[in-house]
């Protein structure tokens, strides 16, 4: 019998498979299709201090090996997530969940975390620092080590729950950002967020997305994500959650060999709502195929 359990920032989970934020809603819709208790955890839809309606449409575009999205963090706001969405999810999923939080100022992050912190089924905070800092010239928090560290320290100061900082790949040196958030108190890092991209409609000769650019996800980004997970794993002492292009059990194992303790599955959920269930189902057989008895034993095993 193979062992799929891993421990993420001190909390054991039954397997490393976690649906990524923005691709699984708040879990309710997927619970109508299969028993979501098979999952290691769930990273809920990105939550902001106040309700957001997101960007104007069109805000989704297909690419040859993935998709672009510019949804713009559409969500009902931290109050409703804390009082409605998370309690509803607790009735359907018996494990701890990852509360993904976004903001456009340091105070935005603090407010959202403070509102979500008392909710019992929040096991970790996943802090999305890919948002533009409206008080810092519009540059994303995640592209500047000092800004990333400032957000991390601010959030660390208002919760005792583990703080996992989600890193942007749209930087020259992601290791520098990872080291900065570790020094500021992060308990873990997750990577990668989406890569900036765009498409042009040949008929209209204009960008397909109303927002012009969007985040690229899907199988095309897997090699980029693996390289960044590898580099960050070698540079920090805190756990790494790997993501980017994962769609099969083999991809999960590859991410873990690169250094991931847990693995998030994103765009695959939008193409096939059973993607995460199928990965969890296939993991034991895939482990046996490659002579793996315990998933925890392979974390960083390729280094």
Catalytic residues: 131
Give the separation between CA 62 and CA 13, rounded to whole angstroms. 33
Give the separation between CA 192 and CA 195, rounded to whole angstroms. 8
Taking alpha carbons only, the member of 51, 15, 45, 16 closest to residue 29 is 45
Give the separation between CA 211 and CA 206, rounded to whole angstroms. 11
Give the separation between CA 172 and CA 300, rounded to whole angstroms. 23
Distance of CA 142 to the CA centre of its chain: 14
Give the separation between CA 243 and CA 118, rounded to whole angstroms. 27
Give the separation between CA 71 and CA 211, rounded to whole angstroms. 9
Which residue shows structure tokens 């994103």? Answer: 266
Give the separation between CA 35 and CA 152, rounded to whole angstroms. 34
244 Ramachandran zone, left/alpha/beta (phi>0; psi -120 to 50): left
Q: Is 174 helix (H, G, I), strand (E, B) or coil?
A: helix
Q: What is the DSSP letter of 21?
A: T
Give the separation between CA 43 and CA 124, rounded to whole angstroms. 9
Which residue shows structure tokens 């409605």? Answer: 84
Residues 6+ apart with CB under 8 A from 134: 104, 105
According to DSSP, the residues that pair with 33 across neighbouring strands are: none
């Amino acid at each position: 019998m193979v062992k799929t359990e891993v421990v993420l920032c001190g909390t054991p989970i039954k397997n490393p498979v976690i649906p990524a934020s923005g691709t699984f809603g708040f879990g309710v819709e997927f619970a109508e299709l299969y028993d979501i208790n098979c999952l290691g955890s769930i990273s809920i839809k990105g939550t902001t201090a106040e309700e957001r309606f997101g960007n104007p449409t069109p805000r989704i575009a297909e690419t040859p090996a993935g998709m672009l999205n510019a949804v713009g963090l559409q969500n009902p706001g931290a109050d409703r997530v804390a009082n409605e969405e998370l309690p509803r999810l607790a009735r359907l999923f018996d494990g701890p969940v990852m509360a993904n939080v976004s903001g456009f100022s340091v105070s935005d992050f603090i407010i959202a975390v403070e509102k979500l912190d008392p909710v019992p089924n929040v096991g970790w905070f996943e802090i999305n620092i890919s948002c533009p800092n409206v008080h810092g010239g519009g540059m994303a928090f995640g592209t500047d080590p000092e800004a990333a560290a400032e957000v991390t320290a601010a959030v660390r100061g208002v919760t005792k729950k583990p703080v996992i900082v989600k890193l942007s790949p749209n930087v020259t040196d992601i290791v520098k950002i990872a080291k900065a958030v570790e020094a500021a108190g992060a308990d873990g890092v997750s990577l990668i967020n989406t890569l900036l991209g765009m498409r042009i409609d040949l008929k209209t000769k204009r960008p397909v997305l109303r927002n012009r650019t969007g985040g690229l996800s899907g199988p095309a980004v897997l090699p980029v994500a693996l390289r960044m997970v590898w580099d960050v794993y070698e540079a920090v002492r805190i756990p790494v959650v790997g993501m980017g292009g994962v769609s099969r059990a083999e991809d999960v194992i590859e991410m873990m060999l690169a250094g991931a303790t847990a693995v998030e599955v994103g765009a695959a959920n939008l193409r096939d709502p059973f993607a995460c269930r199928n990965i969890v189902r296939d993991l034991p057989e895939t482990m046996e195929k490659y002579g793996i008895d315990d998933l925890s034993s392979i974390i960083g095993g390729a280094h």
